[in-house]
Structure 1
């Protein structure tokens, strides 16, 4: 978005959505954030430049008000937990996206960027896959409701592309960075800190593409400003420039934060059998429950090498992964240490969130003349 526009951001109280807000403000755009009534808006309320509008993706009237007058929608809100009914996932990820698309079309929005996921292409039982590109089709079976509904939502977004209403989707894998309290990295490092993270690699080198939040943001903004004829109706894999050895990466970050390495090492066959058993038994237990402590989907993410070809994003979005992994790790470790260490990482408080939000985001005007 080379010229200043008005941007509607969903999921703005979340990890990636919050970074999208920051980046849009830095570029001088007007930002409107659609937030649910129950969301923690403490950080956003420290930003007078951000217009907050309360509503959810099932409320057609609220979506109309949110989209009215906006040029671009960055849709990052989703149900991303690994538990819940198919109806809950469909309502949040599929129906919610359809509702937002409809509101955007009716109000004259010209660009709709959907934050999708490579999980939309994951098929149960697959092994290692390297250099996957956008020609890979959707699977005929999905690991879970999250994978399926992200695929279905993505299909709706791409099908909505028309002249004057450009839609596209980006697929960042394993987003990580500062201000993430609930993603894979804080969960893994918290378990490691407590001595409860076994090495599930079985001694195998698990090569994966991860995506720092700054890199995911760069791809979103590139998708929002690239020529319509180039990006309309297309999907894009985005990832860090580096290919990561997943368990070595977890160990390195953990050691920088004073954690012992994952242990003990569990053979792959035993780990996968255990994941299947835990997942099956978890859903048989009575009473309320969150996500299973180990699942087949989680094991696939942690034990299957999966890397992505970002050539299409480089060609069409001008994507160049601005944040290196080494810089991202240094910034993350500093942020975690300043916030109370690993023990506090996965237990954010409103007070902490407010304090983190007190650093003013420089706008385009305030950046002029700075070095």
Structure 2
């Protein structure tokens, strides 16, 4: 099956390309920067379409001749790196999914996020949980795109949690948080984090490419851990006792609000934002059972994901090797 992959040179997209090839599919890559393809995916006979998903004509040209599409392109905005969030997460999404539907591509697979359910209405997030009304711009853009994908129909939607693992082209989100925890210490607050290995997500996405199955929703949050538990896992795999600071949720939100203001004036290399604090404090576990059963998927242990991520962060120069203890390359 010939599959167009938007965001193919990104974190999820690049791993999904490898998983699609392993599953016997032929990926075609829609990227803004072809040079990045060679840096991220290596040398190869890639079918590359240069274009921005916000450009409807470029998307249409890339979809020509494809059987299916994996929409993995999105802009993140939780830790302060978001750009044109609505342009990518709404306009770009409409260009890819809408035109794929017009052309009759099947399947159409969209990588969403559990953020569309956060803050959650119940103590367990399921694929049928109600969409939320988030305070932050990232969440609002993802919910708006989510509503369009559902109304369009015929779309397989996958909801990943916090994605970690090696090989992230631009450090962001949970990988950035792991680095910050080892460098500066862990704020141990109420709530927690869902840790999903990017390689497991990639396999799940590749297994969605069965034609004729429409309107599926796959929740894949990953392993839920409290912030104290995540700090303990990092200490266990590195063999180094980390620093942890217990604090009420209100203190974390206050610190995040101050950092947001300071970051407008000076560069601060710390990923805590007011939006990130909201996620940290309100996230609850996800019910991944139906997804794991339907896709015949087993998630690797969270300790393996954290170990591989920290080892990669040190090897790539994102983290001082002494911070990762016995994992140091």
Shared fold, TM over 0.5? yes
Q: 1:61 to 1:290 in 2, by over 3 A?
A: farther
1:1-371 alignment runs, 5 A limit: 5-37=1-33, 40-44=36-40, 46-82=42-78, 83=80, 88-123=84-119, 129-139=122-132, 141-161=133-153, 166-180=154-168, 181-194=170-183, 196-201=184-189, 204=190, 206-225=191-210, 227-228=212-213, 232-240=214-222, 242-253=223-234, 256-257=237-238, 261-279=242-260, 281-282=261-262, 285=264, 294-315=272-293, 317-340=294-317, 342-343=319-320
CA positional deviation for 1:172: 0.5
Distance 1:148 1:42, change over 3 A: same
Q: How many residue pairs are counted as aligned between the two chains?
A: 319
Residue 107 of structure 1 deviates from its aligned partner by 3.4
SS at match of 2:228: helix
SS of the residue 2:209 aligns to: helix
Counterpart contact for 2:179–2:318, Cα < 8 Å = no
Structure 2: segments with no counterpart, 5+ residues: 322-329
Q: Which has the larger radius of gyration?
A: 1
- Give the drift of 1:121: 1.8
> Aligned-pair distance for 1:59?
1.8
Question: Is this contact kept in 2: 1:172–1:210, CA < 8 A?
Answer: no
Q: Do 1:193 and 1:259's aligned partners in 2 also have CA atoms closer than 8 Å? A: no
How far 1:63 sits from its partner (Å)? 0.9
TM superposition shift of 1:244: 2.2
How far, CA to CA, are the matches of 1:89 and 1:290 in structure 2?
Answer: 21
The gaps in structure 1 that reach 5 residues or longer are: 345-371
Cα 1:45/1:115, change in 2 over 3 Å: closer
Distance 2:90 2:131 in 1: 16
Secondary structure of the equivalent of 1:148?
A: helix
The offset of 1:15, in angstroms, is: 0.9
- CA contact under 8 A between 1:7 and 1:32: conserved in structure 2? yes
Instruction: Render the CA deviation track for 1:70-105: whole Å, top value 9, x for unaligned.
Output: 11111111011334889x211111011111123313
| TM-score of the aligned structures, taking structure 2 as reference length | 0.84
Q: Is the 8 A contact 2:188 2:247 kept in 1?
A: yes
- 1:266-302 per-residue CA deviation (whole Å, 9 max, x = no partner) reads 33332233334444x358x56x979985333211322
Counterpart secondary structure, 1:109? coil
In 2, the alpha carbon distance for the partners of 1:47 and 1:150 equals: 33
